[in-house]
Amino acid sequence: MAPRRKAADPPQVLSASYLEGAKNKNDLLKRLNNITEQLSDEDVEPHSPHYPGLSSLATSLVSVNDDDDTSYIYLNHKDKDVRLHSVLACMELFYIYAPEPPWNEDEIIEIFQQMIRQLGNLATCIPNDTSVSNQVHQYEAYFRILEQLSEVKIGVVLVDLVRTEQAPHALETLCELIKTILTCVHVDHPPEVGQHAESAVAACVEEFEGNIPNAVLDELLMPVGSGPVTYVIDPKSKENPPAQIQQTNPSYLVAAKVLRKTEDKISSPIANLLNGIFSGDPKTLESTSLSAEDSTESPPSSGKKKKKGGKDTSSPTLNFTKDVGAGDVYSIAYELHRITPMILTTVIGTVASDLTNTDVDKRWQATKLLGRLFAARTSDIAMRFRPCFRDWLRRSYDPEGAIREMMIRSLTNFLSSQYNQTDLCSDVSEALSVIIKLDKITEIRVYAIHQVCELAHSATSDDAVTGEANRRKTHPISAVSAELLNAVGSRVSSKFKTERKDAITGLAKIYYKHYVSKKLQHVQEGGENVDIDEILDVLSKENVDTAIEEKFSWIPQKVFESVFFTDKQDPDLRSRIFQIVDDIMLGTVKKEGAMLSPTSRAVGLAMMLQTLQTKDSANKWMCTLFSHRSNLQRSLASYLDARSKAKECESGSAEAFTADADAMEKLEKMAALCAPPLATGKNSADEGDLETVLRKLHAAKDKHIFRILSTIATPTHSPSARLRALDELPKRTKSLGNAASSWVRSMARRCAMGSFINSESIDTCIMLSQECFEAGDCEAASHFLRCVKIATSIFPALGGTKECFKTLAEFFDLCRTTVMTSAMKKDMEKFGIVTIISDILAKAASSRTGKKEKDTDSVDTLRKQLHRTCTREGTPEQARNAVYAIAAMMNPRSKPITDLSVRARKEKNEFEPILKALVNPSRLSIPDDDANPKNKDRIISVLTAITAIAECAPYAFNASGEGSKLGWGERAIKFALDSALLGRNTRLDTSRDDGDESEDSDNDEESPERSGRKKANKRKKNGVSVHCQMMCEAIELLVTHIRSTIVSARRTAKHAELEPPSSTHIAEVFSTLAKILEDGGVPPSSVNGRYCKTSQDRAALRRSAAINLLRLCDSGLKLEDTYLTSRMWHVLSNVLLDDEASVRDAMAEELSFMLSGIGKYRHSGVGSAPSMRFIAFVTLCAESRKAGKVKASMMQCISSLRGSIATCQAQVRAMGKAAEKNFENNLKMKLMPEYCVPYALHLLAFRHETASAAGTLAGEDDSDAEMEADELAQSEGASEKRLKKRLKFLFDPLIQSLGERADNISFLLRMIDQIGKFSPVDVMKSSTKFSSLETSLDDDDSETEADNEEKEAAARMKIIYQFAREVLLSHVKKDFNLTVYPGSIQVPAALYSRNQSSPANAPIRYESDDSFERPANKRPKKSISHYVSKNQDMESDEDKSVGDDDSVDDKSIDDKSVEDKSIEEEPFEDKSIDDKSIADKSVGEEESVKEPDEEHEDDFGNDAGDTFSPNTSDSECSPEEEKEQQPAFSPEKEEEQSSEDFDKGLGNISPIAKDVSPLAEPASSSPAKKRAPRRKKVSTKKRKSSDIDIFEDEVTSPATDKAHSPKLSNKRSKSTPKTSASSKKKKSSARSKPTPVSVTKKAMISITNSQSSSSSASSTKKRGTKKQTKQDVDDSFDFPDSPPQKGGKKKAVGRSRKKSPPARETSTKKAKVSAPSPSTTSEASSRASRDRTSRAMRRRAVA
């Protein structure tokens, strides 16, 4: 306070007369100024005789106008300066008269009110502001008021008035005074202002005794609620509205100091106030102005509802407001923890009580406040209030989405600030993980993923330097637990696109920042000349931080497993994966430079693949991703070449149009490997169309676009080429439209090589591997070589560059010639250095440039080393790779040898010396017991090398020997088959001690050798003996020789012709492999079989035999139909259920390759679809560990077959009726995937674990019948469950491949119904077994074991039928699922026979007909209509059921019936229609069918083909384009096609073999005679309802030109003489010869549909007779059906159910047979012969 001054004549000034004597305003201001100065004199005392006028002066200052008692003359003067100086004078008088002021209560209140108004001006008065005149003087005046309030504590006067309640407005004035003092402080004021304000307010608060009014507390707490920082308008901003800047809140600082200063007095009142507000106390709420609502963020119920379909860009559930309120209690409570946290001691519990409040707003506000309090960086509230913290964590599972979302922010904030509290952070991480994994709202899960990824990405990588983290106000990465990252990783497999894309992107960024960058820090700092020890330390497993590895090392696995989602499922994710791998995982390359050096990227690649080494799934998907890029590059290069050729053609010519169309087709194939274009702009629908984009790109005139694309179409381009393409292509394609520009950029990003794998990084890996090897670390060298191996397996050109291949050759020579220690040699063998290098060389050699110049020294040296590896020192894998490398170097891909004669000559020159050395008797011999262990193993390497030569050099391998000598390859084949497998022509000493034949012994007894060393164990560590491995390699050699020779023999050239292996040799190989499988892996030779006693040996031999037998059945080879009998087929199927898991898995994987048409089953870039017999194998893979892969392959196979069917149908439809008939009778049985069902059911019928009928069957042990009831029920339940699973595994792909509108269910239902009428043939019978036609009619109670097996299979077939029907009906959702298939259905006669006495033809327990009484305890089977309605009710999202017009009834079926001039078929009436519906809807029917499962029989009488071959190699049509991961199938091509018209008619379809050509006429049994034209005649006689014809017509082998398609008829010719039963019996006996299963004999069964034209009364009468035999009951499987007859034909109104009588009653039975159609004599004769066969079959069954 300034010192008080002395006045010259104070008594005269300090008087009322002096003040009232003013003449004008200026004089008044002068007098007031003088008075103020005199009052400031320290000598002035109240009631002093020296100052008699002091009292009158005080009264005059508060005097009022005479006219208005409420208007003060000076305090309310119209001049502001007069008012200011009046207040200053009053402030001095307060000081002089303290503690009792000289005014009454009203006058005091008036003085304070004017004082408050004047003090408020201090906030806008800045002392240093020179822009305002008289600013300094005014500031001093206002500051004087604040100074007086602080030092004199004048405010206590108001406190006394409030406390004594003497003035009514005292409390309001006091509150206004405190508010003005707190707000008058400006950020630019001197610090003294804040100090005086703090002192003035604190004086007022401390003056209170006891309770402090809530109004006073409100004024103190409101600035606190506004926070330490506020936002003010930027005076320099020129924006509209003006921008805001952040500024310190001085009011908050003053209030905080007041609270800290008066904490003892004010803590309890504030706590009571807050508790009252939080608890909703009415009195408290009435006495306070603080808000009980959180104004910083709107609670859920107060936010506006989003419009339907609208998006919330800020948050999934919350609406944010810009205005930040300062008077809400929640903000105040949060800020109090910073100022005086002890005040909240009792408040926390009150707030926590609202966590379970039913009011969502209350619960939300309490949760938010506690979250802010717990997560505050300087707070320890969470530790002090553990129960409240646990209650708060439970809000993570709150039913309200907005609360869970707010919890996400609070939890992540807690982790970032309280990371030192490990126990609490563990609980928080668990709560966050639950939200990410299990929250039901997708937006909330995505929000949680974003928060966690941002939390981890913003963390510091150095966990040890916590001080640095605190200084930066950041958190270490340890704040994010591994559990939390794993929770984010679990969402990578989410079904929501945004969720999985954001999760994998965030994880990849975290991985690079906190793992890759940290691990490669020292390598990056060292640059390109980094010490090799630094690199070895990175790859070393020593001193590894286990916590860091567990937290981050799994992220690459998740990234690559995301490749599982295809472009069809999620194109955005596939594009994002490319971007992550190229630009995030190992940094990116920009114009400014790369984030990592080439050395760092190479080390990072090796480090990453090291972690993926044991992750088979991730490795597979990584290879899939880069294979996708490789395919795209090849497609792009192919398109660019085609386009350039089209441009070279003459404009407007036919050649130009053809070339342009070819280029456009290749562009479409390339587009199939890219993401679809995004629709942008106004015309988004048009621009986003793929066809439009491709057309624009193809027609682009900017040649630079295609030049840039050509630079990235090869994998060896530089990083700068990629940058250029990504930068310039969008600019140059901008004129094509936004959609085209973005699509081209996306395509370029997928095509160009990123920083993960490129030529630079692979070159560096090769050099680093050599350096590591020279440093003695073979393990590190193997890591780098593994990177090169993976890269060259997908991009061979990366290893075929000049520098890379030269380095590889030098490295290979270094490994083979360097003298090294024994430890080094062991490490080389352990990590397979030489093996990996040889594999790389084999792949890279094919991509070397084929220049016509001599090889360099390094290449010559490499060739010598490869020869040495083949013949002397290499392991089996090394020998194989060496052969491959030599073959690739001889015939590089860049310039392949097109002249086959030149190739044959080069092969002989290159490989004949190697073959000669390998086939040398000293090497190619069976090792005996006394042989050196190395020599024992050597035979395996020799056979492996010979096998590789047979595959790569068939001309050299099959070359004949000199003179009459055998060729080297023929000698090897003879050794493999005769010596190794069959044990012929061997000089092996078979003497062996009996003690060595024990199967239980894993190791042979060790015996000392001559040198004194112990004899090495002959058995490998994996348990497979050397002799077993030798036999497996012999099998590989035999199969590889057959395959390569057949494929190569198709190429014809002068001096280069190959003769395919003899049929005898092929048949012997087939039988040998089948014999091994049938014997359980026991070798066929007892000589070598004595070495294969263990289960491992037998399993290895079974695996090898099964896989190679399956490879021989490749449809491209055309061997399966000729050499694989049904017995062999069954034996091969058993391997899928082998006791050894490794055998099952290997067989299932090989089956998936066959179904997909990849690997060994892909010839010249095209895969061939397998036979239906092998598609049926999938039903046995349901329990396999490879079930997913097999099912995916089956879906690919089915998709390709359906594409081939559609294309072939379109082609043959344009070629006429003959082609259509041939397709219907022959081709469709080989192309329709549904025809695998008969084969699959046959397999299941002969599986003993298949569910069978209740009770013991013939041939079962009595012990089975004596099982306990519960054990029997459990066994039957497990068997039925397994059967359902297998059937579902078969039917699901067939139905799901057609999508939601699958229309093949009725076809499958018809098929299984017809199969159920036949008895499965036991193909495992010996060839000496008699057929059913040879069986005597005399009753014989003795049954053989094979007959029992057939009966058991027939009993199982009933259960299979039941469950198959149940599985199919489960797919029925709509009536369109039961769309009728108009064609015929056939079953293979090689597997099924119409044996009437078979249990399969007995009445099934859920079927009934007119003559079979349903058991009383059986419920009627529900119809398909029931399943339709049931499934529609279960699925709420399905459309409404189809109307009456689409229902499957007789009328609708009749409308949909197909009429053909040559084929009349009765349409299929669905067996789901119940009795009532048939009776109501069928017009003219006499009697409804009681059993819904019965089905009519198809009519094949009018030239309908009834036979088909399961081999698809002669009939398949290739789809038009090859899709990603789905190789196209095409039929195998014949070398010569004699029918040129046929080739022209098919167009672009791959040729179908001529023997099944759509134009090929079905051949008759007598080629010289032609079929006479058939005359149609309406029959007036009844036709037997179930005539079954069995035909055994010859079908030529696939190698012949024409196929035999027998003409079938179920009607007898008029010229056929009637014979007696005895004569029929004799003829039947003469014809009943066993029917062998071969390609020249195919027996098929045709099921006929019969129509009845008799009256309904006659039909009813005959059906009701009691003289029906058991045969009538057995054959009652027909639906009543009568399609409408067009063209004046009479409509059949009924159907006779009378069955054909037994043969011995033929002469006496008066059954009328419908008149046959006219025919030639020869045709009638052949039909009569077939009728006799049919009748003999029926006679046998009836007897």
Residue 1053 pLDDT level (bands cut at 50, 70, 90): low
pLDDT for the residue numbered 938: 86
pLDDT for the residue numbered 1243: 93
Q: Which residue has the higher pLDDT, 1288 or 1741?
A: 1288
Question: Does 988 have pLDDT greater than 90?
Answer: no
How far apart, in whole angstroms, are the C-alpha atoms of residue 503 and residue 1591? 64
Looking up tokens 């009052």, which residue turns up?
39
Looking up tokens 């086939």, which residue turns up?
919
How many of the other CB atoms lie within 10 Å of CB of 704?
A: 11
Q: Tell me the two tokens of residue 436.
A: 């990410």
Question: Does 1334 have pLDDT greater than 90?
Answer: no
Phi, psi at 1125, each rounded to 5°: -75, 170
How far apart, in whole angstroms, are the C-alpha atoms of residue 1227 and residue 1224? 6
**If you write DSSP's letter for every residue of 1185-1232 in order, what string do you get?**
TTHHHHHHHHHHHHHHHHHHHHHHHHHHHTT-HHHHHHIIIIIHHHH-
Cβ within 8 Å of residue 432, ≥6 positions away: 396, 408, 411, 412, 415, 448, 452, 484, 487
Lowest pLDDT segment from 303-317, 863-877, 1089-1103: 303-317
Cα atoms in the Cβ-side hemisphere of radius 13 Å centred on 314: 10
How far out from the chain centre does Cα 762 lie? 29
How far out from the chain centre does Cα 1604 lie? 47
pLDDT for the residue numbered 393: 94
Alpha helices in 262-339 (DSSP H): 263-279, 282-287, 329-339
Q: Tell me the two tokens of residue 878.
A: 């090394």
Pick the closest to residue 888 from 796, 986, 1002 (CA basis). 796
Pick the closest to residue 1628 from 1521, 1732, 1490, 1493 (CA basis). 1732
Q: What b/e sequence results for 188-211 when a residue is b if at least 16 CB atoms lie within 10 Å of its CB, and e otherwise?
A: ebeeebbebbbbbbbbbbbbbeee
Phi, psi at 1070, each rounded to 5°: -60, -50
Q: Which residue has the higher pLDDT, 802 or 1585?
A: 802
Q: What is the pLDDT of residues 640-697, one digit of tens each?
A: 999 999 999 988 889 999 999 999 999 999 999 999 887 655 554 455 688 999 999 9
Question: Does 195 have pLDDT greater than 70?
Answer: yes
Q: What is the pLDDT of residues 1116-1167, one digit of tens each?
A: 899 999 999 999 999 999 999 999 999 999 999 999 999 999 888 988 777 7
Average pLDDT over residues 550-558: 92
The packing angle between helices 833-844 and 802-817, to 10°, is 150
Residue 1702 pLDDT level (bands cut at 50, 70, 90): very low
In sign, the C-alpha dihedral spanning 60, 65, 70, 76 is: negative
What are the strands of the beta sheet with 1588-1591, ordered from one edge? Answer: 1387-1388, 1644-1647, 1588-1591
Question: Does 927 have pLDDT greater than 50?
Answer: yes
Looking up tokens 């490998």, which residue turns up?
1020
How many of the other CB atoms lie within 10 Å of CB of 442?
A: 15
**If you write DSSP's letter for every residue of 1647-1701 in order, what string do you get?**
EPP--B-S-HHHHHHHHT-TT--HHHHHT-------PPPPTTPPPP-B---PPPP
Q: Tell me the two tokens of residue 77.
A: 């003067």
Kindly state the percentage of the chain with pLDDT values over 70: 69
pLDDT for the residue numbered 322: 33
For the CA atoms of 823, 824, 826, 831, the dihedral, rounded to the nearest 10 degrees, stands at 140
The CA-to-CA distance between both ends of the chain, in Å, stands at 135
- Rounded to 5°, angle at Cα 618 from 616 and 622: 115
Pick the closest to residue 265 from 225, 342, 206, 345 (CA basis). 206
Q: What is the pLDDT of residues 146-186, one digit of tens each?
A: 998 999 889 888 888 888 887 788 899 999 999 999 999 98
Residue 589 pLDDT level (bands cut at 50, 70, 90): confident
Lowest pLDDT segment from 33-42, 617-626, 701-710, 1080-1089: 1080-1089
- Rounded to 5°, angle at Cα 239 from 238 and 245: 85
| DSSP one-letter code for 396 | G
Question: Does 746 have pLDDT greater than 60?
Answer: yes
Q: What is the pLDDT of residues 1712-1738, one digit of tens each?
A: 333 333 333 344 444 444 454 445 444
Residue 131 pLDDT level (bands cut at 50, 70, 90): low
The pairing of beta strand 593-594 with beta strand 1162-1163? unpaired
Q: Does an H or E element contain 1644, and which?
A: strand 1644-1647
Q: Are 1506 and 1177 in contact (CB under 8 A)?
A: no
Lowest pLDDT segment from 587-601, 839-853, 1085-1099: 839-853
Lowest pLDDT segment from 127-141, 146-160, 548-562: 127-141
Q: Which residues pair with 1588 in a beta bridge?
A: 1647
Cα atoms in the Cβ-side hemisphere of radius 13 Å centred on 694: 21
The packing angle between helices 1305-1315 and 1345-1369, to 10°, is 160
Pick the closest to residue 36 from 97, 87, 76 (CA basis). 87
Q: What is the pLDDT of residues 952-980, one digit of tens each?
A: 999 889 888 877 788 889 999 999 999 88
Average pLDDT over residues 587-615: 87
Q: Tell me the two tokens of residue 579.
A: 């971007």
Question: Does 1393 have pLDDT greater than 70?
Answer: yes
Q: What is the pLDDT of residues 25-63, one digit of tens each?
A: 888 888 888 888 888 887 888 878 888 888 888 888 888
For the CA atoms of 851, 852, 857, 860, the dihedral, rounded to the nearest 10 degrees, stands at 100
Q: Is 153 left (phi over 0), alpha (psi -120 to 50) or beta?
A: left
pLDDT for the residue numbered 295: 63
Asked if the bond preceding 3 is cis, omega within 30° of 0, the reply is: no
Question: Does 351 have pLDDT greater than 90?
Answer: yes
Pick the closest to residue 193 from 95, 94, 123 (CA basis). 123
pLDDT for the residue numbered 764: 93
Residue 1519 pLDDT level (bands cut at 50, 70, 90): very low
Q: What is the pLDDT of residues 1422-1471, one digit of tens each?
A: 444 444 444 444 444 444 333 333 333 333 333 333 333 333 333 333 33
The 3-state DSSP class for residue 1543 equals: helix
Q: What is the pLDDT of residues 450-497, one digit of tens each?
A: 999 999 999 987 654 444 545 556 889 989 999 999 999 999 999 999
Question: Does 747 have pLDDT greater than 90?
Answer: yes
R_g (Cα) of the chain, nearest Å: 48
Q: Are 295 and 191 in contact (CB under 8 A)?
A: no
Kindly state the percentage of the chain with pLDDT values over 90: 34
Q: Which residue has the higher pLDDT, 1209 or 1522?
A: 1209
Average pLDDT over residues 710-730: 92
pLDDT for the residue numbered 1582: 39
**If you write DSSP's letter for every residue of 52-101 in order, what string do you get?**
TTHHHHHHHHT-B-SS-TT-BTTTT-SSHHHHHHHHHHHHHHHHHHTTS-
Q: Which residues pair with 320 in a beta bridge?
A: 297
The packing angle between helices 263-279 and 329-339, to 10°, is 150
| DSSP one-letter code for 1093 | -
Q: What is the pLDDT of residues 1165-1219, one digit of tens each?
A: 777 889 999 999 999 999 999 999 999 999 999 999 998 888 888 888 888 888 8
pLDDT for the residue numbered 300: 61
How many of the other CB atoms lie within 10 Å of CB of 893?
A: 14
The packing angle between helices 738-751 and 571-583, to 10°, is 50
Residue 1364 pLDDT level (bands cut at 50, 70, 90): very high
Q: Which residue has the higher pLDDT, 527 or 682?
A: 527
How far apart, in whole angstroms, are the C-alpha atoms of residue 97 and residue 89? 12
How far apart, in whole angstroms, are the C-alpha atoms of residue 984 and residue 978? 5
The pairing of beta strand 1319-1320 with beta strand 1387-1388? unpaired
pLDDT for the residue numbered 1268: 63
Lowest pLDDT segment from 5-14, 123-132, 1189-1198: 5-14
How far apart, in whole angstroms, are the C-alpha atoms of residue 256 and residue 337? 11
Q: What is the pLDDT of residues 1002-1040, one digit of tens each?
A: 333 333 333 333 344 445 545 788 889 999 999 999 999
Average pLDDT over residues 782-788: 94
How many of the other CB atoms lie within 10 Å of CB of 1455?
A: 11
Question: Does 413 have pLDDT greater than 60?
Answer: yes
Q: What is the rounded average pLDDT for all residues in the chain?
A: 74
Cα atoms in the Cβ-side hemisphere of radius 13 Å centred on 567: 20
How far apart, in whole angstroms, are the C-alpha atoms of residue 656 and residue 1475? 65
pLDDT for the residue numbered 1395: 58
